Copies of this chain bind each other. A is one copy, B any other.
Amino acid sequence: MAVALLSIGTELTRGEIVDTNAAWLAATLTEEGFDVACAQVVGDEHEHIVATLQRLGAEQRIVIVTGGLGPTSDDITTACAAQAAKVDLVLDESALLSIRRKVEAKGRLVTKHHEKQAEIPRGAEILPNADGTAPGYSIAIDSARFFFLPGVPREMKRMFKEQVLPRIRPIAPNDTYVVRLRTFGLPESTAAQLLEDIELENISLAYRVHFPELDVKVRAKGANLAAARELATQAAAVVRERLGDVVYGEGDDSLPSITGRALRLRGWRLALAESCTGGLISHLVTSYPGASDFLIGSAVVYANSAKTRMLGVSEDTLRGHGAVSAEVAAEMAQGARRLCEVDVGLSVTGIAGPSGGSSAKPVGLVYWAVAHPGGTFVQERVFRGDRNEIQIHAAYSALDLLRRVASGLPEGSQPPVSQRPPPR
């Protein structure tokens, strides 16, 4: 069953915001087994909106419209919907009551702007808005069923899940299931080559780069959802076996959260020592609740004086090998471990650029080290890309080494970490 999307708002046609609503709706509908035929954006122009609604009404069966339901004068979606459906606007008393209650609960006065939001096209069915004032509604225009939702993502998503999905789900085919394998350290072309000759009926593989990671999506079609899930799960196991331990997780797993889980299982406490990544690893690790289970502290040692003072890196090593060297990376990891009295220290030092490189030590040269009860292990790479890409690539490479060490996997003396940076 095909669905069309329409986003209304001049902030979109001016490129002031990116239309993440459409992407979220498309992903959610796809997961539910619908096809999204097209997604369209129009500005706040009455005639253009009416014409678009009428065209979609003639061409489509289900249309999800977002935006333009607010209280201000440039919110004209409802007036356009009524005109396209050839009905007038009526004041919905229950919607008005609900709006009044919400506005007054905030200690504000109800104005005619608020009241306008209770006017809906005659014959439309109200879709309550749990998070905001403007209700949504559903109405037929020509041969299509339209759902009008607010543009505020939080309100739209909840209303879509609670009000729209239950109404359209009965007509979805519901025969597709996707397993999303998360990988780090494998270029897309290598992954595709490794999986080239896999032949699995009713299975399709797709690759999606989320720099610096690669997702492999295993999509199965079956007689029903349960059959599709079974099929996808089996196929995902085959793919996992081929790709090996570059697959670090599935679905919503992330490299920092999986690394944290490995540390927790091992009962290891962690200290970080960051130079060129400037706090990015600490930030990634502490983005997830429960980081305090294992992370004791980090030293971001940007200046050489901080490397010595905070981590006890020897001035001789700094002078003899330079701040960007395997020796300093090792002493940083050991220093962090000693400083915080923990089981494992992870360090990064490198040249993120754009300046500071030389022919011997180019921009992008990075060393990272893990110091743990079994010894100290250092890796080295020259990353390509701009400053932020080098920082991200270095942070993920260091986390991946930590994941491998904490999980008892081989370190991979030079793991082929090289997703292309995102084009810009």
| A interface list, Cβ under 8 A from B | 5, 11-20, 22-30, 35-43, 48, 52, 131, 152-155, 157, 206, 208, 217, 271-272, 274, 277-283, 285-287, 289, 291-292, 295-303, 305-306, 309-310, 339-341, 353-355, 387-388, 391, 422-424
Please state if A41 and B43 are interface contacts (CB–CB under 8 Å). no
Q: For A301, what are the chain B residues with a Cβ–Cβ distance below 8 Å?
A: 297
- Contact among B19, B36, B52 with A23 in the assembled complex (CB-CB below 8 Å): B19
Verify A15–B19 contact, CB threshold 8 A. Answer: no
B295 A286 Cβ-Cβ under 8 A: no
Inter-subunit contact B13/A289 (CB<8 Å): no
Which chain B residue shows the least CB distance to A131? B423
* B residues in contact with A26, CB < 8 Å: 12-15
Q: Which residues of B contact A40 (CB under 8 A)?
A: 38-41
Q: A289 with B387: in contact, given A154-B423, A282-B282, A283-B279 (CB under 8 Å)? A: yes
User: In the assembly, what is the distance between CA of A157 and CA of B289, in Å?
Assistant: 38
Verify B279–A300 contact, CB threshold 8 A.
Answer: yes
- A356–B280 alpha-carbon span in the complex (Å): 24
User: Are A310 and B339 within 8 A (Cβ)?
Assistant: yes
B48-A42 in contact (CB<8A): no
A340: which B residues are within 8 A, CB to CB?
A: 303, 305-306, 309-310
Q: Which of A16, A217, A281 has the largest count of B CB atoms less than 10 A from its CB?
A: A16
Q: How far is the CB of A140 from the nearest CB of chain B, in Å?
A: 23
Given contacts A279-B300, A298-B300, contact A353 B17 (CB under 8 A): no
> Contact at B296–A297, with CB atoms within 8 Å?
no
Nearest-Cβ distance from residue A164 to partner chain B, whole angstroms: 15
Lowest 10 A-B CB distances belong to which pairs? A278-B286, A279-B282, A154-B423, A15-B27, A15-B26, A297-B306, A279-B279, A298-B300, A39-B41, A13-B36
Complex-state Cα separation, A30 to B20, whole angstroms:
19
* B contact residues around A277 at 8 Å (CB): 286
Q: What's the Cα separation between A282 and B296 when bound, in Å?
A: 17
Q: Write the nearest CB–CB distance from A345 to chain B, whole angstroms.
A: 13
A302 lies within 8 A of B291 (CB): yes
The residue among A12, A291, A341 with the most chain B CB atoms within 10 A of its own CB is A12
* In contact, B27 and A39 (Cβ under 8 angstroms): no
Docked-complex contact A297 and B297, CB < 8 angstroms: no
Please measure, in the bound complex, the distance between the C-alpha atom of A302 and the C-alpha atom of B300, giving whole angstroms.
13
